[in-house]
Amino acid sequence: MLSLVDHFHLCRSPDNCTARAFLAGGADRIASVAPDPSVGCLAKKVVIVDAPKGTISSSAEENFGFWIDEPAKIVTFADGKKLNVRRFDGRWISAVSGDVSYELDRQNGNLTYAGSTMKDGIATTIIGAGQCTLATVPAR
């Protein structure tokens, strides 16, 4: 499981990294960096499973990270799975992975996500919210 990332890197790929802050004012500090995820997020995740025999729910803190390729407007989880981007501008990034939609407010780092599935009469709902951290970029 990923720890909350203290560094913010925009990378075309994990092997070819340059850093550029894009949140909180959009500062353009560029430096070579190690291939860490671009953004680290700490969120509270709630899962509700509604089955014919009853409903159960659980909640947990979730740490995860993702890469943001600013020029190509691509978002990829730290494990390499690409998200389907729906909106990518100076204020918001909206993307989907499977049945879960993610919304990142680029101005304040707030992240929300939600999704639901139905299979064999069992409904599963996922809801999450948290804060994403941008790294300080080391000076060259």
Residue 138 lies in a domain: no
Residue 81 domain flag: yes
Does residue 28 belong to any structural domain of this protein? yes
State how many domains the chain has: 1
Is residue 96 in a domain? yes
Q: Is 140 within the bounds of a domain?
A: no
Whether 61 is covered by a domain: the verdict is yes
Q: What dihedral do alpha carbons 66, 129, 43, 90 form, nearest 10°?
A: 30
Judge residue 36's burial from the number of C-beta atoms within 10 Å of its C-beta, 0-12 exposed, 13-18 middle, 19 or more buried.
buried
User: Which residue segment(s) compose the domain that 113 sits in?
Assistant: 10-133
* Per-residue tokens: 79: 């494990």
CATH number for the domain including 94?
A: 2.40.160
pLDDT per residue as tens, the chain (140 positions): 222 222 223 333 333 333 222 333 333 332 333 345 689 999 999 999 999 999 999 999 999 898 989 899 999 998 899 999 999 998 999 999 999 999 999 999 999 999 999 999 999 999 999 999 875 444 44
Q: Is residue 5 situated within a structural domain?
A: no
For residues 120 and 25, give the distance between their C-alpha atoms in angstroms, rounded to a whole number: 47
Name the pTM for this structure: 0.70
In a domain, 84, yes or no: yes
